């Protein structure tokens, strides 16, 4: 993995480029993963896929976010809120779904790993720091059929922890 390091202070991190090495001495290049801000990417190999986790970062202006910009991270071209309150957790076919509200009161929904669903009490009605990653999930065309082999890549919440302000 190669990470761009842009100049200036607009982004703390930069886009990630995956480059492989084949036995034929070819260098296949993966799709660029857009990333701006947050802590450094965590890259690990989990069997065949490479798992990339892009943690969100705390605001760069002291404690709290009320009245200021909502803290975000950009991953795979999608801008995601990194501090929000979990209002509801619903199980789905590909992931669990979190009903969230940011510090400005805007409601939105995000996909999350299933293990967050098992710890509802730890996350509900608290301001949580959200960490995102890109994961392969069952394709929506499978309609929840576990025998279906179609998959897709999705940006989802990998972890949440109580936000200390």
* Per-residue pLDDT tens digits for 5-56: 655 545 556 677 777 767 777 777 666 666 665 566 777 766 666 667 666 5
Q: How far apart are alpha carbons 14 and 95 in whole angstroms?
A: 27
CB atoms within 10 A of CB 55: 18
Q: Which of 93, 68, 98 lies closest to 80 in space, CA to CA? A: 98
Radius of gyration of the chain (CA): 17
Tell me how far apart the alpha carbons of residues 81 and 100 are, in angstroms, rounded to a whole number.
Answer: 10
Q: pTM surpassing 0.85? A: no
Give the pLDDT of residue 65: 44
- Mean pLDDT value of segment 80-107: 89
Output the CA–CA distances (angstroms, integers) from residue 163 to 69, 70, 111, 114, in the order listed.
16, 14, 19, 21
């Amino acid at each position: 993995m190669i990470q761009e390091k842009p100049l200036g202070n607009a982004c703390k991190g930069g886009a990630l480029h995956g480059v492989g090495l084949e036995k034929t001495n070819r260098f296949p290049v993966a799709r660029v993963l857009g990333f701006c801000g947050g802590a450094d990417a965590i890259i690990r190999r989990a069997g065949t896929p490479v798992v990339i986790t892009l943690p969100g970062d705390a605001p760069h202006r002291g404690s709290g976010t009320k009245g200021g910009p909502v803290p975000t991270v950009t991953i795979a071209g999608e801008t995601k809120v990194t501090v929000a309150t979990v209002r509801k957790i619903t199980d789905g076919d590909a992931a669990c779904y979190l009903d969230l509200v940011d510090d400005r009161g805007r409601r939105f929904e995000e996909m999350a790993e299933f293990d967050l669903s098992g710890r509802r009490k730890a996350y509900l009605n608290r301001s949580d720091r959200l960490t995102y990653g890109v994961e392969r999930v069952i394709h929506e065309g499978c309609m929840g059929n576990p025998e279906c082999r179609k998959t897709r890549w999705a940006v989802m919440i990998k972890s949440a922890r109580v936000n200390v302000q």
